[in-house]
Amino acid sequence: MTTPYVRFQVEGPIATITLARAEKLNALDMPMIEALVEAADAIERSREIRCAIITGEGKAFCAGGDIAGWGALEPLDMWRVWTRLGHRAFDRLARLRVPLIAALSGHALGGGLELAATADIRVAEPQIKIGLPETGLGMVPGWSGTQRLVRRFGSQNVRHLSLTGELLSGEEAQHRGIVDEIVPQGTAFARALEIAKRVAERGPIAVSISKELINSAEGEETAAAVEGIAGALVSYTADLKEGVASFREKRTPTYSNT
């Protein structure tokens, strides 16, 4: 990783991404965002990894973007660098080939909630707080808080959180469908690991394709899903083999429609 504040570990078929900047409530700076991209790339390159967990140390899962990281940026740099890099990292995580589980043992605020929304399953502890406080700083959610969060949590939930700045408890977030499961304090990671192990026991190709189809249904990556699955289907055909062979042999192909 490019920073000690993000740890990436693989044990068997399960990868774990840990935000380890507890003294700053795991607020994301530029190197941490770049490290999230690195972690996503490492997961994509591995055939052994079948599920991933993302979590944070200390009192927060993630308190969002580090104000020191973006507060002094010029407006165009905010667009060119900060927002675009954050989108790149979060899109990579949301579109991972394998399922991603968020273990929320601490607060998920602003960009932290946007990061949690990249996961397929969210396990939370009751003491945490969840919210979108950006408008209280004169900012707007910038890492797909008004887009992916709406698709995954519903527009009314996001409207309420963003416009009012209200913070929800873990139980309130579960009631609103923002987190999937509430577990006793101190057990979020253990429960996430239990779910990850169960996922890892299932057919990995079927799991990956199911995830891609679900993502497509909610508009996450429709073009990539349709073309990827179509390409895989065509690769099994005799016609493709004949087309490649005829190209190499510089002859007219004879297709069998099989």
3-class SS at 124? strand
The two tokens of residue 246 are 């005829």
User: What is the spatial distance between Cα 59 and Cα 107, in angstroms, rounded to a whole number?
Assistant: 7
User: What is the spatial distance between Cα 105 and Cα 21, in angstroms, rounded to a whole number?
Assistant: 14
3-class SS at 20? coil
- Catalytic residue, candidates 57, 114, 125, 220: 114
- Catalytic residue, candidates 23, 34, 125, 134: 134
Does residue 134 have an active-site annotation?
A: yes
Does residue 114 have an active-site annotation?
A: yes
How many other β-carbons are positioned within 10 Å of the β-carbon of residue 137?
Answer: 12
| Residue in 148, 135, 171 with CA at minimum distance from that of residue 92 | 148
Active site (catalytic) residues: 114, 134
